[in-house]
Amino acid sequence: MAVAILAGALSTGAATADQTGTDGAAAMNTESEYVEFLEEQGSAEARETLSGFKALPAEDKSKFLNYLDDPEILTAFLDESSGDSVREDSDVPETMEARQVTKYNQDVSFVREARVSTEASMAATPSASWTNKATYSFSQKMFGVTITKFTVWVRYQATRTGYKVLKVHNSGSSLRNFNV
């Protein structure tokens, strides 16, 4: 249930990203420009993307840079992010996870992930309530390197069975975007 709510929130965020674009950033035409851009970001996520990019063979780096500037890939990514949410395959009581990968081509993929996990129990009785966290992410990867990732989450108190939400504690979102 929480995953479906989060999926809807993510598709709303995707529409916003489409409208705002990349804040006028110039396309990265060379490897050194992209490396410099990632280094200037200063975040752990940028360092992770930089490490993955640097590990690519020269031919793949060239294709990678071309993919960054391909409007068809961006459009496909945004269209896919607005699609159906990940379907729950199992009914695991403490952690439910689902992952779905859609290949754009052999080098570019879109990954949809959902997870509901129990963080704490309020009591040990059968009528106990639990604090759960539901997270939904949608990301774009090129050669296995994460370029863009939208994430939304909600922490909530629910009955032990998880079928009734008693209280929402907090929620949030994040955006990682190194597709300039």
Specify the pLDDT at position 121: 65
The residues, any chain, with a CB within 8 Å of residue 85's CB and separated by 6 or more, are 3, 4, 6, 7, 8, 112, 114, 136
Specify the pLDDT at position 95: 57
Q: Are 125 and 100 in contact (CB under 8 A)?
A: no
Residue 76's domain comprises 2-18+27-177
Question: Which strand (E) or helix (H) includes residue 168?
Answer: strand 165-177
CA 91 and chain centroid, separation: 23
Specify the pLDDT at position 21: 37
User: Each residue's pLDDT tens digit in the chain (180 positions)?
Assistant: 444 434 444 443 433 333 333 444 456 678 999 999 999 998 999 999 999 999 999 999 999 999 998 999 989 988 888 765 544 444 434 557 788 899 999 999 999 999 888 776 665 555 566 778 889 999 999 999 999 999 999 988 887 766 788 888 899 999 999 987
CA 118 and chain centroid, separation: 20
Specify the pLDDT at position 35: 94
Q: Which two tokens stand for residue 11?
A: 């598709």
Specify the pLDDT at position 98: 85
Q: What are phi and psi of 144, to 5 degrees?
A: 85, 0
* Residues counted in the chain: 180
Domain count, the chain: 1
Q: Which stretches does DSSP call E strand in 50-144? A: 95-103, 108-121, 129-142
Return the amino acid letter for 179: N
